Amino acid sequence: MSFSYHDGNNVLPPRTIDPAGFGKVAIVTGCASGVGLATTQLFLGHQYEVLGVDMHEMEYSKIDERDQGRFHFHKGNLTEQGECDEVVRICVAKYGRERIDVLANIAGVMDAFEAADVYTDAEWDRVMMVNLTVPTRMIRAVLPFMKANGGSIINVASKAAVSGAAAGVAYTASKHGLLGVTKNTAWRFHEENIRCNAILPGGKRDLHNAPIHQIDHISSYHRYESRYFNRRCQLRSSLLPASSVGLPERPL
């Protein structure tokens, strides 16, 4: 039997009733695992054409066979010079349209939980590059393709974007910075019908194989805190029931 994430009790929508993304193109960074993979599945479930990028291999078995024709994977390290522009170039060439409707900036890395007295320059540069510089470069690269038709930029930040007590100094600074990028972009481009929002998850566990009693147990410790700068994220809010359980496909 072929794999499908549209069946059973999954939170993803039945494929025939929600064509929200029909004819639209989305780019998802960090698509090979966790939140990025779940987001890729979500957009495909809504009929989007998706360009996914990740530095690690993508398991195509995780994409429903019926969605694979609308999914293109590009393996690449987004921190390399010119790579963000290259991803957008590939997306436009692949789908043959001078438009990108959604950018989901999800690729990210955790730091070593080092505070300001012990962090290393290398760790700081690594975390800031992936969590702050790359999303901002991706935004710069897609904006020319959003200006004509509008678009939506989604930056996955973290609880650490508003809290100083969630991670090391590098991760905390990078996610605070991403929040600033989000606000500035939302302000500068709102008249061009381009929305820019951040999502601030708390902690997530991979609970796919956990028995339900374990999920209930974990949920009491891992309540998700999320905030949207505006509430126009219809895609998410129409799909996900209020819940205290954080999952890659339902992290909020």
Ligand X SMILES: NC(=O)c1ccc[n+]([C@@H]2O[C@H](COP(=O)([O-])OP(=O)(O)OC[C@H]3O[C@@H](n4cnc5c(N)ncnc54)[C@H](O)[C@@H]3O)[C@@H](O)[C@H]2O)c1
Nearer to ligand X, 47 or 111 (CB): 111
Write down the least CB distance from residue 23 to ligand X, Å.
27
Render the burial of 16-25: b for 16+ CB within 10 Å, e for the rest. eebeebeebb
Q: Tokens 């975390």 map to which residue?
A: 127
Asked if 204 is an active-site residue, the reply is: no
Cβ at position 67, least distance to ligand X in Å: 19
Residues that bind ligand X (CB under 6 A): 30, 32-36, 54-56, 77-79, 106-109, 130, 156, 158, 201, 203-204, 248
Nearest approach in angstroms of CB 158 to ligand X is 4
Task: Name the strand (E) or helix (H) holding 72.
Answer: strand 71-75
Which of 24, 159, 175, 204 is catalytic? The answer is 175
Radius of gyration of the chain (CA): 18
Q: Which is nearer to ligand X, 21 or 108 (CB)?
A: 108
Q: What is the crossing angle of helices 83-95 and 134-146, to 10°?
A: 30
What are the tokens at 204? 């997530």
Residue 94 a catalytic site member: no
Quote the least distance from Cβ 191 to ligand X, whole Å: 28
Identify the active-site residue in 171, 183, 204, 221.
Answer: 171
Determine the 3-state secondary structure of 196 from DSSP: strand
- By beta-carbon proximity to ligand X, the closer residue of 30 and 45 is 30
* Other CB atoms within 10 A of residue 107 CB: 26
Q: How far apart are CA 183 and CA 195, in angstroms?
A: 10
- Residues facing residue 196 across a β-bridge: 153
Please, which residue, 10 or 149, has the CB nearer to ligand X? 10
Q: Which of the residues are catalytic?
A: 171, 175
